[in-house]
Amino acid sequence: MLTSQKTPDNLIKTLEGGVLYNACSIHQLKNYGECFPGTNVSIRVNPGLGSGGTNRTNTGGPASSFGIWYEQLAEALNIAEDYNLNINRVHTHIGSGSDPEVWKKVAGMSLEIVARCLNEGNCVEVLNLGGGYKVGRMTGDSFTNLQECGDPVVEAFKSFKDRTGKKLKLEIEPGTYLVANAGAVIAEVIDGKSTPGYKFIISDSGMTEVTRPALYGAQHPITVIPFDTIEEAEDYIVTGKCCESGDILTPAPGDSEGLRTRRLAKAQIDDLVVIGGSGAYCAGMSAKNYNSYPEAPEVLIDLNEQAHLIRKRQTLDQIIENEVIVV
């Protein structure tokens, strides 16, 4: 199912290929109705409340552009009626928060949106409560307690059935929760520098592979693996290789402009730097080709602990192949 801020360039061709569509704005819903009148459609609604680890991982509430604002639901329902659309799925998404009370409240708000759709003659079958679930990447970090968040949601669905007679299917999107800690970036120390305030490890990774720290002060576990046995440890700021002051892998928690040193093994050039928690929102969200650095290769370790190259390192020719030289 396609959930996007951008309407596909060829909506008809995309959906005729078997893709389900989640209309995320009034414009998208009207566009869909013009192309596919008399069909089922899903709508994403901003319920008016969100919850994120930081403001930049909050995808609900008045500061978020995602979805149809809940106060505009009447307009969306009118468009559905104009094009004889049946809203068969409602989607909300609050962000990466883990407060059970917020989940309970948003579930109730989302069910009320479903009720309004049902009252207008739509046959809603599914409520997708989206995500996300906070993942503990660092030692001591907390994970979302799925049972704690899920129990009141289950009760809300049961209560809705008792009240309306409608049994809804619940969909969730747990991808990050499942894979975040299933990946790591293996980099090298390529240089070391110091100022009166800090010692720096310069790695050959950074925002070109792991953008989360630069975006919103996200924390990833980092380990220096020396080639020589060194028992000493020092306090470091770890940076990437880009000519960009924001290319920092050790920001202050939740503050992309702040710095927080890490106690790491004393690093020498060519030592390895392992950046953990990189299985989600890293390769797919990287600052690809910034400063013309090639995309990193990817290796999959299977259940038999065998390594498989699943993406080759990008070449310079591939980076520039779409550039056109005008003579």
| Catalytic option among 24, 35, 123, 243 | 243
Phi, psi dihedral angles at 111 (to 5 degrees): -65, -35
* Pairing verdict, β 272-275 and 222-225: antiparallel
Measuring CA to CA, how many Å separate 206 from each of 143, 151, 195, 257, 311? Answer: 25, 39, 20, 15, 19
Query: Is 35 a catalytic site residue?
Result: no
Active-site positions read: 243
